[in-house]
Every structure is written in C-alpha cells, then in structure tokens.
Amino acid sequence: MILTALAAALFVGCDGATTSSPAGLDPRDPSSDEPIAPGTDIGGDAGVPATSDDDDAGTATEPVEPTEPTTPAADAGTTTPPSTPTPPPATPPTTEPPSACVGEGCTCVRARELWADDFETGDNSAWTGQGYGDPWGDACQSTAVSTVHPHSGRYAQRSEIVCPSSSPDGVHRGYGGLQFSGEDVLPNHTNVGTGLDAPNGIVSTFHTWLEPGYQFGNGRWVSLFTINPTCGYTERVITLGLDNPDGILRPAHHWPEGTLTIEPDAQPMPLGRWVRITVYVNFHSGEMHVWQDGQSIEHVTGITRATKQMCQWHWGLYASGDNTDIVMFEDDMSIWKLDEAWSDWSREPWLGETQSVCD
C-alpha cells in the first residue's frame, strides 16, 4: 500500500516530548532495507535470495522514491537457539571513560569521526530526513526527543510500544536513519548513489536504555541497529538485537555464510540503565565485532556481500508486532572510519574516549 502523502504532525508525548513528522522518509523493508513495490507480497526476510525452503527467504524488489513510502514487510527476527544465561556481575560495569589514560589505549589510532548526535539540538536535524520515523508507526508506537533519562546533557531520543502492531506488515517501527554519499551524510534519502568505503572498517558507538516488560524469544524480538551495504537496497543488511530469553545481544542476517562466536562470559544486556554498545563492521574482510560496556561479547566472520561499501544506517525501536510493552532511550551516538587496521578484538575501540585518536 502506497501512502500518497505523509502529513506533517506535531504532538506531545507522554513525557512532554515533542516531535514533528520527518521529511524524506526512507521507504524500506527493514529486514533487507528494500523499498516495496505496490501490491508486492513479501514474507520473511525480503531481499534475501531464496536458497532453500526456509521461511525467512524472499526476493528483492525494486526501490521506490522515499517521498512515497510503502508498507514494508516484517522481519522474522533471528533464529539462533537460546542458551543458558550467565548471571550479571554484582557491580555493573561503568559506561564512563577512565580518569587517566593507561595501557594500550594511550597509543593513538588513526581514525576520523564522520557523524555524531547527542540530541542536544532538541530535534533530529542531524539525521537524514531530519526525523526519526515516527509516522511509520501506528497508535501503539511513538518516538520523540525527550528530557527523560538523558545519558548526557538535557536530551535523549525516547521510543515506546504500548500494544500489538496493527500495521499490515505486522511489525513496530520508528527509527532514525542515515544515508551516506562517500563520507558525507545526506540531508534526504535518495535511494541511489555510492555509500562509504572503509577498507579498515567502521566503528559505531551508541548508548541505549531499554525497558521491556518481558523476555524476548519464541518469535518476539527487537532490533537496535542496522547497516545496509547499498543505497539502492540490493544487498542484505546486518543487524543487532535481542531475540532470546538469555538476553544476549545477537546479530542477524549473517547467515548462512557467516559464523557467529559468542564469548563464553558474555553477559545479558542490562535493562533499565544506560548501556554502551560498540559495533565494528567491515564488509571488505567480512567481519562484525560487538562490545557491551567495554566487554567483548561476540564476533562474526565470513560475512559476504557483493558490495563492500556501507550506505544506510538506522537505530531505534524496530520490533516484532507482538511486542506490547517496551520503552527505549538512545543518546550519544557516533560513527568513526578507521584509517588503519584494528585487530585486537578483546579491546573496545571506543574512539576518542578509552581509545585515543591521532591528531
């Protein structure tokens, strides 16, 4: 179903936050970040070539202009089996940098910050489309800049789900997006062009406060982070989220070719407080590495994509339609391009903080 118009709307959230309907929304199927042509029946992971009878298989569709958003198809979420959760440490790790530079982090690494947002403008002007996708949701979901629970400063982004999704695609959505052209973030989505080339990889760091009213699993999932290699939605995404009762963050769409290794001491994502998440992705080497509050939690190798660039990013509260009780805050987000190789996967590359950057 094609929306013929996206009406601008201003509303006040339950915490006093305000938002406006963003311009230039990216009309994509979030499982593959592909726009959906009118009347297309897509099930499972749209955009992933069907190589078996797996329910997540689908076919790619042609992109459409972002000013005419269509109804994306649902993502089946990850299908990794649950594992026995490891009890969290008695004292949660801090998300703050040490007061003095010690150890290997004092040896600078060559890297450049390409984008960052701490929401201190009080709006989403740093994002492609200058919005956070609230019109994608229905009455059961909302997202807006808020003064509740900022990680730093005065503002953070707040998203909420309060009842099952009534959208035709059966998912909740509402997420901020970025489209890169080279090393520049575009003001509006074009769905064409060339993204960012990063032979040494990209590091994305963000802070998330998550309050779900239940465990995830049995088909109920939430996705916190997505990268799409192409601007035209012709490649599979790589994502990070929660879909198992053990509460450990896991990637999705690295299968069938990629191999996931979870650290034996990986901790569940802490709930009801700020958590720092750092993600390294490199499509040249086919790798993804994830840290949580400075601790290495997992590694993916063997990822294959025909396109080695990265064009589209999005964060936010994107979740299966059976979610009914989630509040999320996001703050202090950044994207860095490494100009030299990083190979010590035991150490978090929190660039400019615990890891110094060469001038």
For the record, the structure tokens of 174 come out as: 């509402």
Inform me whether the pLDDT recorded for 10 exceeds 80. Answer: no
- For position 104, what pLDDT does the model report? 60
The DSSP result for 152-209, as a single string, is SSS-EEEEEE-S---STT-EE----EEEEETTEE-SS--S-S--B--TT-EEEEEEEE
Beta bridge partner(s), residue 327: 160, 211
* Arithmetic mean of pLDDT over the chain: 79
- pLDDT tens, residue by residue, 269-310: 999 999 999 999 999 999 999 999 999 999 999 999 999 999
Predicted confidence (pLDDT) per residue in 43-101, tens digit = 333 333 333 333 333 333 333 333 333 333 334 344 444 444 444 444 444 444 444 45
Instruction: Note the pLDDT of residue 132.
Output: 83
Domain 104-359 grouped into CATH 2.60.120.200: yes
Give the pLDDT of residue 174: 77
Termini Cα distance of the chain: 50
157 forms bridges with which residues in the sheet?
145, 330
pLDDT, residue 168, reads 83
